[in-house]
Structure 1
Amino acid sequence: MKGFLVVHISALVVWIGCLVYLPALIASHMGSSHSLEERPHPYDSLSRLLFTRLATPSALVAIIAGTAVFVIDITFHPWLIAKLTVVCLLVVLHTLTGVLVVRAENKPEAPVALWSGVLMAGSVAAVLIILWLVLAKPPVEDWL
């Protein structure tokens, strides 16, 4: 089980790093059009490469390894359900980051700085909530 936990945490660190970095990368490249940056194909940007080749696979590995830890350990705690709910929010933020990548490629003049900031803040907030839930293991029964 500890091996799956190490894989889960490692993949989670990469996934979260990508979710925090990608909106900043997209926002930094918007509105700047240099002749040296013209690409032969409009869909081979660095942000697409990071999203499809690093962020998404690491998200899948983190989710699969986390599921394996849950199945092997067979523990059920209310804080775990709360954590999984926040992980679902993180998956939604991941999907919205992909939408932002596509939007930035299709409409390079579109203002995406606000959405980049919202996605970055949402990702950081979700990660902080997950860390708190995992480390503190609060009694969720008292919340109801």
Structure 2
Amino acid sequence: MEMFHLALQLKALNLELSEDMLVHLVLISLPNQFSQFKISYNCQKEKWSLNELISYCVQEEERLKQDKTESAHYASTSKDKGKKRMNEAVKGPNAKKNKQDKDKKGCFFCDKDDHVKKDCPKYHAWRAKKGLPELPKAK
């Protein structure tokens, strides 16, 4: 329709385009969704007038709207967000190693089994060297 109006404006300026040329310009300006429509036009022996082309374009546009399928995406979240991520991390290639670390008893700082981290002399020395305050004594 826009090209039809432009053609009328050109005609008012004594620059007239032939109807075949105008139909051709309209066809090449159609978007990619009309590719099947263009192919069917090019396969015909008869040529359409501008009014016929407009009416067929309207029909094709309606057909494309009907063929267009609507879809919705569903997303949900779990109440146990943190647990799920933790389980996913444990299931990786180091799952066995992570499981052993959880079951391990003893000091996590120096890896000795006879004490825990809060009682580790090396850990207390390290904290003192860093200038960190002493840990409170256990009751």
TM-score using structure 1 length: 0.28
Higher share of residues assigned helix:
1
TM-score using structure 2 length: 0.29
**Greater Rg over alpha carbons, structure:** 2
